[in-house]
Every structure is written in C-alpha cells, then in structure tokens.
Chains A and B, each alone.
Chain A
Amino acid sequence: MAIISLHQVSKRYPGGFEALKAVSFSVEPGEMLFLTGHSGAGKTTLLKLIAAIERANGGTVLVNGQNVSSMRSAAIPYLRRNLGLVFQGQKLLYDRSVFDNVMLPLIVTGQPYREAARRARAALDKVGLLTREKANPVTLSGGEQQRLCVARAVVNRPAILLADEPTASLDAAYADEIMEMFHAFHQVGVTVLVATHDQQLIGKYRKRVLALDHGRLQ
C-alpha cells in the first residue's frame, strides 16, 4: 500500500491563486523521489499539504493511510511525528545550542531525557556535527546549518522525510553532501521526498521525478 497518496488534489490560496490543480500520485514505502519545477510551480504547497500545514480545497491526501485533508487538528501533531521535515529557511533556534536544537523534537514528543540525549548525539554524529554540539547554530557555516536541519528532521526516526529545496543556498560540494545523506536514509528504508530545482543533482540519482508546472503534474 502506498505510504503517500494524492488523488485529484487542488489548492487555491485566498485571493484566488491556484497553486495546485488536480494533482494525483502515490509513493511506495521506502521510495525516494524528487519533486521538481520552476519556482512557484507548487512544490512547497505540495509538501505543505502532506505535512498538514495547509489544507487542500479538493481531492484527498492520504499519509500512512490517514486522510490528512479531513484530519481533526488535534490529530495533526501525531501525524507530524511520523514526518521528518527539512524546511526552506531552516527555522533553527539561535537562542540555544546545536545539541538542544536536535533535542527539541524528542522533548516535544516526551522522550525520557537520557534516551533523547543518546539519540540526539547519534543523529549529530550521522551528519558529522557531534564535535559542534555545544556551539550556537549561528557560528555554523551554511552547509553545517543545513546538516543540523537534517539531523533534527531524522532524530525522531520518521518513516517519511520531506525536504523543501534543501540544497538551495549551498555550493555544489555541500549540496552533494546533503543529497548523499538523504540517499543514505532512503537506503535504510525511509521514504524520501525532495523538492528541488537542481537538475544536476537529480541526474545523479536514478529516481522517479515528479515535475510540476503551474500547479499541474506533467
């Protein structure tokens, strides 16, 4: 059964802008795929619908068998705990250390502190930031900050990883590094959906590509 499945999904923002028009596709568990398209094509909107950040105007969005578009708001937090999100614009907290940034998803879901700390260190180790755990995120380079975001997204061991332009502000070497990490998570069974307009990166992996054009899937 598909882990993510969209059927005839449309999204219109207040003001009449139609971000998505009758989009349908499904993703198998453990699959890695790219979402591409010019800017404004609806990539971010599509990810937001899956994460229940926006609500679709028509059609159904199924994640893990649950209908996200008709979900009660009280159930949304529990849906999101199964998702790892790497956002555009990072959303790191600069009033606390690298370690505490990674701890946050575990604390929010009520993990015991000792176990949480162990998992946070493991996630930091995976992205090569263990030695910087006490640093403030401000002191990290752009590539390191993005790696920190990845660590935070995977620390809860989500079944699905959604990334919105994770390599947008990075130079080629850093971008490769980040994409390799996503590929590694895919190899251990995580479903990975990456929105990017970087055709060169997409070309490196022989994965399914969903191309959006003015809100329609090509």
Chain B
Amino acid sequence: MRAWLQHHRLSLVQTSARMAGSPFATTLNVLAIGVALALPFGVYCLLANLEALSRKVSVDPQLTVFLARDAAKADVAAVETRLKGARGVRAVRFISRDAALADLGRAGGLEEVIASLPQNPLPDAFVVTLSASDPVLADRLELDFKSLPKVAYVQADSAWVRRMDALLRLGRTGVVLLAGLLGIALVAVTFNTIRLQILTQRDEIELCRLIGATHTYIRRPFFYLGSMLGLLGGIAALGIVVAGLAFLNRDLGALAQLYGADLRLSLPSSREMGAVLGSAAALGWLGAYLSVSRHLLERGRK
C-alpha cells in the first residue's frame, strides 16, 4: 500500500517535471486539446443561452381567435364562455372589431385610409393566454377553438417557439456529433503525444521490464501524463469559452441597450465545467491507455 502510494506520488512528480521540462511542446498540445474541446463546448453554451432566451420570450404563449365577420353578439358571448371554460386557458381578452380598427389607425397612422373604408373589414377577436408554454397544449387548444361555431381562424403564436425548439434540437444533435468527433481527436492527440514520450523513454521502459517492473508500473506514469494533458486541455477549453462569452457579452450589451432589452449570455455552470474537465481527463487517460497498451503488446515479453 505504501509502495503503491509512493509510486503514484513519484509518477505524478515525474510527469509534472517532464511536462514542465518541455513547456513549448506541452503548451501546444494543451492548446490543441483546448481548442478541440472549446468548439463543441462553446456551441453548447450558446445553445443553452438560446434555449433560456426562447423560454423567457414565450412565457405568455398566446392564441388569437378570429371570429367570422357575420358573428352576432350572442355568438361572441358563446365563444367567450367556451374559451374561458377550456382547460389550460389563463386569460381571455376580447378585442372588438371597432377597437381593433381604432388601434390600427393609431398605430399605423392610417386614419385617412381607414376613414375612407366603406365598412370595417376587421373581425372580432379574442386573445387567449395559455397557462403553460407547452406546444402540445397549444396544438390541442388551437384545434378545439377552430371547431367552435363562428370561429374563422386561430393563429398560434407558439408556432415560432416550436420552430425554435426544432432548431435547438438540431443544434444539440450537432453538438453531440461535434463533441464525439473532437473527442476522438483528443484521444488521437494524447495517443501520439504519449507514443512520442514512450519512444524517448524506450530504454528506460525496456530496462524496467528486465528488472521486474509490472505492466501496471510501466503504464502508470503515462496514465498520469495523458490525464494531465486532457485536464489542462479542458482548462484551456474553459478559458477559451469563458473569454469568448465575455467578448460576446460586451458587444451584446451595446446591442441590447439599443433595443432597451437586457440580454446577457450566461456562463456555464460549475457542474457543466466539471463535466468538461472530467471528460477531458478521461479521454486523455484513454489515449494514454491505448498508446501504452499498444507499445507493450508490440514489445511482447521483452
């Protein structure tokens, strides 16, 4: 047990010393891994922000129910009762055709045009606010309301939310693919780095095997090297992503001010950062494992 701990400590010290001994090569390796990881992680962070934004914007999912032009007062009242009685509806606001026309005139500066119309072309309408931002609910209510008597058309404001949702799903799939590919790249980078290190230490490895070193003993320092490369690469990736988000936030802040909105990209959570570091170290370990095992297999019993 003590010997085991002693060798772990020794491996760690030796590995750190080796990495510090060739700072240029180490930095380049770490950067290569960092950039490879920063790409999917950065896209992931942007998607997460976009998702949060889409949730914020669609807090009040609405349906607009337009009535037929020939709907009488009684029809309007009947529809209103049905709308109010439907499950999943939080509020119903009536906009009469006259109010709508007046609104249009005020907002569009079209008073003259409107005044010249022989009659009001607008229908009566209800704006229905749903209790939850749920595309399924919105779909169901849209169908229900369409079938009500004297309802001409139902416009779902949640359609764009659904489109956004689909887009985000596509984006997430893209991130998974990208992460998979660049994860393989990370394994390849560590594989080759470890291979080079093995070749420079070839004599030492051969000698150690001749004086009774087990495979575990020979592998251990390289596992440390692979994991540390991965971990440092992960830290570099976090640095790149956080710096990138900060940069974007600066420009976004100016943009948001122009629109009078508060838009900020939030940084990844500590759990997400931990996951990135953990998987980077694990992938580095895997690269080292493959590399050392291959070498030991090649050398056979010698």
Contacts and interface: CB of A to CB of B under 8 A. Distances in A.
Interface of A: 51-55, 73-74, 76-81, 85, 87, 91, 93, 95, 104-105, 107-113, 152, 156
Given A77-B209, A93-B203, A93-B207, A107 B301 contact: no
Interface size class of B (residues with CB under 8 A): 20 to 34
Given A107-B10, A110-B4, A77 B213 contact: yes
Given A91-B203, A91-B207, A93-B203, A109 B212 contact: yes
A104 to B, nearest CB: 7
Contacts of B212: 77-81, 105, 108-109, 156
A51 B204 contact: no
B3 A54 contact: no
B213 A108 contact: yes
A80 B6 contact: no
A91 B206 contact: yes
Given A55-B301, A80-B209, A108-B211, 18 more contacts: A53-B302, A73-B301, A74-B215, A77-B212, A77-B213, A85-B210, A85-B211, A93-B204, A95-B204, A104-B211, A107-B7, A108-B208, A108-B217, A109-B212, A110-B7, A113-B6, A152-B211, A156-B211
B214 interface: yes
B2 interface: yes
Contacts of B2: 112
B113 to A, nearest CB: 90
Given A76-B301, A104-B208, A111 B3 contact: yes
Contacts of B209: 77, 80
A148 to B, nearest CB: 13
Q: Can you list the 3 inter-chain pairs with the closest CB atoms, starting with the nearest? A: A110-B3, A81-B212, A80-B212
B78 to A, nearest CB: 85
A51 B302 CA distance: 10
A74 B213 CA distance: 10
A15 to B, nearest CB: 16
Interface in B189-235: 203-204, 206-215, 217
Contacts of A109: 3, 212
Nearest to B217: A108
20 contacts: A52-B301, A54-B301, A73-B301, A76-B301, A80-B209, A80-B212, A81-B211, A81-B212, A93-B203, A95-B204, A107-B7, A108-B211, A108-B213, A109-B212, A110-B3, A110-B4, A110-B6, A111-B3, A112-B2, A112-B6
